[in-house]
Chain A
Amino acid sequence: MAILEVKGLKKSFGANEVLKGIDFELNRGEVLAIIGSSGSGKTTLLRCLNFLETADEGTISVNGEVLFDGSAEAKQNAADIRKKRLHFGLVFQQFNLFPHYNAITNIKLAAELLGKEKSRRECAAIDAEAKAEKAAVRAAHKSQDAALKGENLPKDEFNAKKRALKASHRAELIELADKTAAKKTAVRERLFGDIDRRAQALLERVGLGDRAEAYPCELSGGQQQRIAIARALALSPDILCFDEPTSALDPELTGEVLKVIKGLKSGDSTMIVVTHEMEFARGVADKVIFMADGVIEEMGSPYQIFEAPQSEKTKAFLRKSREQNLGDEPFPDVAS
């Protein structure tokens, strides 16, 4: 089954219709490359998927769950959207790392915040449970005390028995408190024990294991973008989106970033990459979408799009990008 299903997605900014009905599906583990000239709606599509823009019409479903339905009357509240957008991760063109946190903190910040939220919730549930349990134990103790009183024992024997009973009650309550504390520790261990190790593992995965303490301003553009990729991966999104991940980089730095993205493919991550790197799209993608003027002009395997394009627009776009790549465009169009 398709992990992502987009149907009839439309989006306008004022009178400018940017997306005019987008339909596509993506299977788990697939890499989708979206190509097309500037202003064709590629970035807007990605932003709609990540709920940075709200589409006007259409549906977005992940794993069969409808995350967005443009026809639904009810306006979604912020908490819902927050939960839903965690199905997606987004790597920005401009990296957007948090400059005041070092690399490792950038990666684990969101995971820690979510962990705290979960731990607060779970600990509250444990506390409520413990409170009920304690009340039940207290009630049992009281009835035991009453029973002892009812036995009408001689004073010495009564006192001795009462002391013993009290001690056992106290032990029982302490045991209960210990159990609650242990449960909470287990919750925290489960939620936080892994975060540091995972963040370090992600750093190594993007080849920056030794730069954990570095601040973004101390890293090159390519390194920053690799940290941004690790940051997006930290929340294990179902679908990882890249918005022109190498467009803000110097040419000599694009390679390291593309290599990291390519490396992710070996995992089972599903990815959508908006890109101008035709060679990358051809080499890495399982599926390519060519967008023009807010519609999917052509969609297919890299071979279909790059070697046997059907649409005239696709052909023209590919020809142009090839010429630009070779740097021998015969009559450079100054106006564009």
Chain B
Amino acid sequence: MFAEVTTDLLNGFGLTVLLFAVTLVAAIPLGLIVSFCSMTRFIPLKWLTKVFVWVIRGTPLMLQIIVISFIPNTVFEIPNREIADFFGTSMANVNFIFVCVAFIINYAAYFSEIFRGGIESIPKGQHEAAQVLGMTRGQTFFLVVLPQVVKRILPPMSNEIITLVKDTSLARVLGVVEIILAANQAVNLYVVIWPLFYAGAFYLAFNGILTLLFSFIEKKLSYYKV
């Protein structure tokens, strides 16, 4: 029984990690773009972005996942079944992609606010010093501002990323068998409670590794103060 449960949980954990990785890789650059939009001098775009961030941060991620899964069917009248057939894949995969899209949008909104805070916290003097040295705006951002932003946003980012690990459990609302749903199924099947604790141990281990990784990066960047 232990071996079967372990296999099921590992499969679920695979999906959890995949969702986590996809979200992180896509939401960080997207979040940077959103943060630029929220700082632009072009007022309509700025307000549009602020409303977007307000809506995304102000509503539950679970609601967003469900809404996204219903958009093709209700707005464009394309049944999800057809999407799956068109791409020659299973419904489970289509649902996983819906979950990914919702996570990416949601986390991009959160990240964008962290990035905005980080970018705006860099003193004006840094920009001016770069300017009088003849640097272009691109050089100023990538060589002067961004490295300092990375250091400043590390603590809030590590918070958000650890939250992301735990949020992946929301994928079950579309039937994605991530680790908690896998554990849940094992509990139903074998009528024992320990698979739930076993699943918790996976989260603990994963977040423990992330915590160590972040403190390592923090230490790496401690050679200077901003």
Q: Give bound CA distance, A163 to B130, whole Å.
A: 59
Interface on chain B toward A: helix, strand, loop, or mixed SS? helix
Given contacts A96-B126, A113-B139, contact A52 B148 (CB under 8 A): no
B129-170, CB under 8 A of A: which get 1 and which 0? 111111111010001100110010000000000000000000
| Contact in complex: A100, B132 (CB < 8 Å) | no
Q: Give bound CA distance, A82 to B137, whole Å.
A: 10
| Contact in complex: B133, A110 (CB < 8 Å) | yes
Q: Give bound CA distance, A194 to B52, whole Å.
A: 51
- Chain A stretch 98-144: residues in CB contact (< 8 A) with chain B: 98-100, 109-110, 113-114
| Contact in complex: B134, A216 (CB < 8 Å) | no
Chain B residues with CB under 8 Å of A97's CB are 129
Chain B: minimal CB distance from A234 (Å): 8
Within 8 Å of chain A (Cβ to Cβ): is B219? no
Within 8 Å of chain B (Cβ to Cβ): is A6? no
Specify which of B133, B139, B225 is in contact with A235 (CB 8 Å cutoff).
Answer: B133
| Contact in complex: B134, A85 (CB < 8 Å) | yes
Specify which of B129, B137, B223 is in contact with A215 (CB 8 Å cutoff).
Answer: B223
| Contact in complex: A52, B129 (CB < 8 Å) | no
| Contact in complex: A52, B133 (CB < 8 Å) | no
Q: Give bound CA distance, A83 to B226, whole Å.
A: 29
Chain A interfacial residues counted at CB < 8 A: 28
| Contact in complex: A109, B129 (CB < 8 Å) | no
Chain B residues with CB under 8 Å of A215's CB are 223-224
Within 8 Å of chain A (Cβ to Cβ): is B82? no
Chain A residues with CB under 8 Å of B139's CB are 113
Chain B residues with CB under 8 Å of A114's CB are 134
| Contact in complex: B128, A96 (CB < 8 Å) | yes
Chain B residues with CB under 8 Å of A86's CB are 134
Within 8 Å of chain A (Cβ to Cβ): is B125? yes
| Contact in complex: B135, A98 (CB < 8 Å) | no
Given contacts A92-B125, A98-B129, contact A110 B135 (CB under 8 A): yes
| Contact in complex: A92, B129 (CB < 8 Å) | yes
| Contact in complex: A99, B132 (CB < 8 Å) | no
Q: Give bound CA distance, A215 to B148, whole Å.
A: 14
Chain A residues with CB under 8 Å of B151's CB are 100
Specify which of A52, A99, A231, A235 is in contact with B131 (CB 8 Å cutoff).
Answer: A52
Within 8 Å of chain B (Cβ to Cβ): is A88? yes
Chain B residues with CB under 8 Å of A113's CB are 134-135, 139, 143
Given contacts A98-B144, A216-B224, contact A82 B136 (CB under 8 A): yes
Within 8 Å of chain B (Cβ to Cβ): is A94? yes
| Contact in complex: A92, B133 (CB < 8 Å) | no
Nearest opposing residue in chain A for B143, CB measure: A109
Chain B residues with CB under 8 Å of A98's CB are 126, 129-130, 144
Q: Give bound CA distance, A296 to B97, whole Å.
A: 68
| Contact in complex: A109, B224 (CB < 8 Å) | no
Within 8 Å of chain B (Cβ to Cβ): is A41? no
Chain A residues with CB under 8 Å of B126's CB are 96, 98
| Contact in complex: B148, A100 (CB < 8 Å) | yes
Residue among A94, A100, A110 with max Cβ neighbours from chain B (10 Å)? A100
- Chain A stretch 245-286: residues in CB contact (< 8 A) with chain B: none
Within 8 Å of chain B (Cβ to Cβ): is A318? no
Given contacts A85-B134, A109-B143, contact A100 B129 (CB under 8 A): no
| Contact in complex: A88, B147 (CB < 8 Å) | no
Chain B: minimal CB distance from A118 (Å): 12
Chain A: minimal CB distance from B88 (Å): 47
Residue among A88, A98, A114, A235 with max Cβ neighbours from chain B (10 Å)? A98
8 closest cross-chain pairs (CB), A and B: A110-B133, A96-B129, A96-B125, A217-B225, A90-B132, A100-B147, A215-B224, A99-B224
List, sorted by A's number, 28 A–B pairs whose CB atoms are closer than 8 Å: A52-B128, A52-B131, A78-B136, A78-B137, A82-B134, A82-B136, A83-B134, A85-B132, A85-B134, A86-B134, A88-B132, A92-B129, A94-B123, A94-B125, A96-B123, A96-B128, A98-B126, A99-B148, A99-B226, A100-B224, A109-B133, A113-B143, A114-B134, A215-B223, A216-B224, A217-B224, A232-B132, A232-B133
